[in-house]
Structure 1
Amino acid sequence: MVKFTEDQFDLYTYKNTGKSVSIRLFTWTNENKVSVQVITYGATITSMKIPDKNGVVKDIVAGFNNLAGYQGLNPYFGATVGRAANRIGLGQFKCLNEIIQVSKNRGENHLHGGFVGFDKVVWEHFVDGNKLILSYHSADLEEGYPGDLVVHTIFELTDSNEFLVEFKATTTKPTYVNLTNHSYFNLAGHNAGAAELYKHVVCINADQITDVDEDSIPTGKLLPVADTVFDLRVPKILGDLINKVPKSTGFDHNFCITKGPEQGTTFVARVYHPESGRVLEVYSNQPGVQFYTSNYFPENSKSKETLTGKDGNYYKHGALCLETQNWPDAPNHENFPKSILLPGETYYHNVSYKFSVKN
């Protein structure tokens, strides 16, 4: 039986009106001592507490203790990211017969929805049993995207230790939609650091990755993973690979999930931390997953910049992300999966985070 509660997390004040609203905190706890927390700011997962093989419970996702943290220098910890996750080259995409210009918030390119993406807004909430439904209306031309977009993100924890997330969206005009959740995982504990992350054993169900240029914008080419550092079809120890990624300081790549033409939800990835015994499996209906290893976190304690989270500072390679999504920059590449949502259609994306313990 899953226990589901609601509390206040913090207060949010709208700059234009001065009006304050309560940021709500929702907590699920099942009989296996698994608990997950989500807040209405950014439709954000703030905590995932999972027992290890000895019954010791630890929080395994990076985040902050208060709203100020999520509004500050926040690398999208646990957030719902959109209207389009990942990068759009030159902030432009093809939408039917038009070229749409969106905001450029990462140099000359667009990243994760722009300056004020879905991670930086307060979502409306509705509770249906143990399901939390968070909703947001993205207005026409917000960050340059056409169409009024209504988005729902649905969260639920099950007794079988699965945390389920669904994204749904409808639009009034043709537009680009590519949503994801941006949780950062370290199965040894969210603040266990790179030394423990390197011990993780990672498997990703992908025969190819999307090739990118020096700005991480896809070139349109697909590269086979065979005989490269990207071949994670057989489980590999992360520390043996992470510093061998070419032209990068770690993984930050879209893996093209291997699935049949009519196959829906399928296995995406598996991560295992041998010392704790914690296992995370990811399943989704999306064609890709962005595997990211916190390459741009502060280098170490001597760095000028700091990233202070729930229990101290986070550093480079301290966590990993498995962002299920469409392939990046998809509208600009005819060989990439369909990415333009039309009026009358419903965007649908599901992802399951399934936790277990290996003795």
Structure 2
Amino acid sequence: MSIQSAPWDHDATLYTLENAHGMRMLITDVGASLVSWFAPDRDGNMSDIVLGHDNAAGYLSGAGFFGCIAGRWANRIKGARCTIDGQQYIFTANEGANLLHGGDAGFHTQRWQGHILGNSLQLTLTSPAGAAGFPGNLQVWVEYELADDGTLTLTYGARTDAPTPVNLTNHVYFNLAGGAADIRAQQLQVNAGRYLAIDHESIPVDMARVDGTPLDLRQPVALGEVLAMSHPQLGIARGLDHCYVPEGEPGTLRQVATLFDPASGRELITATTERGIQVYTGNFLEGTTGRRAYHAHDGVCLETQAFPDQVNMPSAHEVILRPGQTYRQITTYRATVRS
């Protein structure tokens, strides 16, 4: 794999990763964001399979969270607060009373430092104590590596000098049609029999079974069919915006989801070490401008992460990083083609 860097607007840097078969992706140091991913269809035609902006200014604005690393806490924290070791911390609320994707100190608009390490691109960031109300100085890094078989590996890490919640993900929107259509005809399969049911603020309230509901994705189903169904959970989110609980042991890299576009033959296989995968069908993209004017359901996010609001669950200890520990996560997305 080759990695090249070039200046972009607003003093940003744009990195190009290319494998031996001409598959390539663009990554910027703004938000450590995946800007583009050019992948072949069954006829060998290359198209960009992710949504994004065509300049650094778009990423600095934070519009759409396109392709960014979301943190220090990806997804939501109820009431923008939690308690660690008996002390309550209050964070910056930026979605009603709740915190979303790190609040006003979210990682998605920050300048990361890029380092080319052989076949991988490493981006690093320092989040100071008190940012958005979070305790501890946090050192964060993520590595992007593109293999010749079309696998993108994201390796995350973090260290802190005080106990702090950490939950990182990549907020990339996929559209395997390469912009030729929205995601309704694309088929999604998720290896999960359970999901987190949400309230009207999209905060988890229960772990529910998918059986007998439109949220059952254990067999491949066209996303348009799901979006057309009637169900209270789909009504709350205007589509899917739910954390699924994949089968298998968290901490082990296991296949959790497959997205397939029948028209192009493109397939995307997701594997992760994380406990959950948030499936978001771009329900609020309408009116968001990136490389073009986007509409609802123009992309789907497959965000591997801890549970939303897990800092306020009995399992909160699992997502509190402490001094001397290292946060680790590996997620892979493999872009391939069915004949």
Match of 1:322 in 2: 302
2:42 pairs with 1:53:
yes
| 1:247 alignment partner, one of 219, 222, 236 | 236
CA positional deviation for 1:273:
0.2
Unmatched segments (≥5 aa) in structure 1: 12-21, 299-305
Q: Is the 8 A contact 2:199 2:236 kept in 1?
A: no
Q: Is the 8 A contact 2:75 2:101 kept in 1?
A: yes
Q: Is the 8 A contact 2:311 2:319 kept in 1?
A: yes
Provide the secondary structure at the position in 2 that maps to 1:338.
helix
Q: Is the 8 A contact 1:133 1:152 kept in 2?
A: yes
TM-score by length of 1: 0.91
After the TM superposition, which residues 33-182 of structure 1 pair with which residues of structure 2 at under 5 Å, given as runs?
Answer: 33-72=22-61, 74-182=63-171
Match of 1:331 in 2: 311
Match of 2:218 in 1: 233
Task: Work out the CA distance in 1 between the residues paired with 2:116 and 2:73.
Answer: 26
Provide the secondary structure at the position in 1 that maps to 2:218.
coil
2:273 pairs with 1:285:
yes
More helix by share: 2
Q: Is the 8 A contact 1:243 1:249 kept in 2?
A: no
Provide the secondary structure at the position in 2 that maps to 1:75.
helix
Task: Work out the CA distance in 2 between the residues paired with 1:99 and 1:258.
Answer: 33
Task: Work out the CA distance in 2 between the residues paired with 1:136 and 1:185.
Answer: 25
| 1:355 alignment partner, one of 327, 335, 338 | 335
* CA root-mean-square deviation: 1.3
Provide the secondary structure at the position in 2 that maps to 1:309.
coil
CA positional deviation for 1:33:
2.2
Which residue identity lines up with residue 289 of structure 2 in the other structure? T
Task: Work out the CA distance in 2 between the residues paired with 1:164 and 1:326.
Answer: 18
Aligned-pair identity (%): 35
Q: Is the 8 A contact 2:3 2:116 kept in 1?
A: no
Which residue identity lines up with residue 347 of structure 1 in the other structure? Y
Which residue identity lines up with residue 211 of structure 2 in the other structure? A
Match of 1:17 in 2: none
Q: Is the 8 A contact 2:60 2:110 kept in 1?
A: no
| 2:246 alignment partner, one of 257, 271, 284 | 257
| 1:273 alignment partner, one of 242, 251, 261 | 261
Which residue identity lines up with residue 295 of structure 1 in the other structure? N
Task: Work out the CA distance in 1 between the residues paired with 2:5 and 2:315.
Answer: 45
Provide the secondary structure at the position in 2 that maps to 1:155.
strand
- Runs ≥4 in structure 1, deviation > 6 angstroms? none
Q: Is the 8 A contact 1:295 1:316 kept in 2?
A: yes
Q: Give the paired residue count.
A: 335
2:212 pairs with 1:213:
no
Task: Work out the CA distance in 2 between the residues paired with 1:307 and 1:41.
Answer: 18
Task: Work out the CA distance in 2 between the residues paired with 1:101 and 1:192.
Answer: 44
Provide the secondary structure at the position in 1 that maps to 2:53.
coil
Q: Is the 8 A contact 1:192 1:318 kept in 2?
A: no
**Which has the higher mean CA deviation after the structures are superposed, 149-158 or 96-105?**
96-105
CA positional deviation for 1:246:
4.0
TM-score by length of 2: 0.96
Q: Render the CA deviation track for 1:9-31: whole Å, top value 9, x for unaligned.
A: 222xxxxxxxxxx3111111112
Which residue identity lines up with residue 86 of structure 1 in the other structure? N
Task: Work out the CA distance in 2 between the residues paired with 1:247 and 1:122.
Answer: 34
